[in-house]
Amino acid sequence: MFLFEHFFELTLTGLALGSVYGLVALGYTMVYGVLQLINFAHSEVFMYGTFAVVWTLYVLGGTPTTSTGGVIGMLLASLVIAMVVSGGVALLLERVAYRPLINRNAPKLVALISAIGASFVLAEVIGLRGRIAGALGLDDNIGRFVQRSRDATGMPVEIVPQPVVRIVDYTVTNIDLLVILSALLMMVMVDQYIRRSRLGRGIRAVAQDPESAALMGVNSTRIVQLTFLLGGLMAGAAATLYMIRIGVTRFDAGFILGVKAFTAAVMGGIGNLRGALVGGLVLGVAENWGSALIGTQWKDVVAFCLLVLILLFRPTGLLGESLGKARV
Partner 1 sequence: MSSTASASGSSSARERRSFRTRISALPKPAKLGLMVLAALFAYALPLLEPPFITTPGTDFGGVLFTVAVYMLVALGLNIVVGYAGLLDLGYVAFYAVGAYTVAVLTSEHGNWPYLLAIPMAVGVAMLSGLALGAPTLRVRGDYLAIVTLGFGEIVRLTLVNTPWLGSAAGIARIDRPPSIELFTIPHLNWDTGVPLVDFGQTTIFVRFGVLDLIPYYWLALTVIILVLFGDKLIKDSRVGRSWEATREDEDAAELMGVPTFRFKLLAFAMGAFVGGLSGALFAGRQGFVSPQSFLLLLSILFVAAVVVGGQGNRWGVMIGAAIVAYLPERFRGFEEWRVMLFGAALIVLAIYRPQGILPPRRTVRARRMEQEIEELEEGTEEEGARG
Partner 2 sequence: MTSKKPIWAAALAAAGLVLSACGTTGGESAQPEAGASKACNLEFAFMGPLTGDYANLGINAVNGAKLALDEYNKQNADCQVVLREFDSQGDPEKATPLASELVNDQKIVGLVGPMFSGETNATGEIFNEAKLVTVTPSATNPDLSKNGWDTFHRLLGTDEPQGAAAAKYIKETLAAKKVFVVDDASEYGKFLAGKVEKDLGDLVAGTDTIQQKQTDFGPTVTKVKASGADALWFGGYYAEAGLLAKQLKAGGWKGTFVSGDGVLDPGFIEGAGASAANGSILTCPCAPADASFTEKYKAISGGSDPGTYSTEGFDTMNVFLQAVAEGKATRADMLDWVNNYDAEGVTKQIKFDQSGELSQVTIYAYKVEGGKIMPGTPISGA
- Does position 39 interact with partner 2 (CB under 8 A)? The reply is no
Q: What is the DSSP string of 148-162?
A: STTS-EE-SS-----
- What is each CA distance from 215 to 31, 49, 143, 179, 300, in whole angstroms? 21, 37, 53, 42, 45
Q: Does 300 bind partner 2 (CB under 8 A)?
A: yes
Q: Where are the alpha helices (DSSP H) in the chain?
A: 2-5, 7-35, 42-59, 68-93, 99-103, 108-127, 129-136, 143-146, 174-196, 198-208, 210-215, 220-245, 253-268, 273-294, 299-313
Give the residue from 216, 196, 269, 315 showing the smallest Cα distance to 30: 269
Regarding 141 and contact with partner 2 (CB under 8 A), the answer is no
Residue 45 Cβ vs partner 2, minimum distance, rounded to whole Å = 18
Rank residues 116 and 138 by Cβ distance to partner 1 and give the closer one: 116
Out of 19, 56, 114, 173, the only residue in the binding site for partner 1 (CB under 8 A) is 114
Q: In this complex, which beta carbon is closest to partner 1, that of residue 182 or of residue 227?
A: 227
Q: Please identify, using beta-carbon distances, which residue of 181 and 294 lies nearer to partner 2.
A: 294
C-alpha torsion 199→200→203→208, nearest 10 = -130
Candidates 126, 57, 45, 41; CA nearest to 83 is 45
Q: Does 102 bind partner 1 (CB under 8 A)?
A: no
Residue closer to partner 1 by CB (options 76, 110) is: 110
Which residues contact partner 2 (rule: CB under 8 A)? 2, 5-6, 9-10, 13-14, 17, 64, 148, 150-155, 158, 160-161, 245-248, 250, 252-253, 256-257, 287-288, 291-292, 295-297, 299-300
Residues within the interface to partner 1 (CB under 8 A): 32, 36, 38, 96-97, 100-101, 104, 106-114, 116-121, 123-125, 128, 131, 259, 262-263, 266, 270, 297-298, 300-301, 303-305, 307-308, 311-312, 315-316
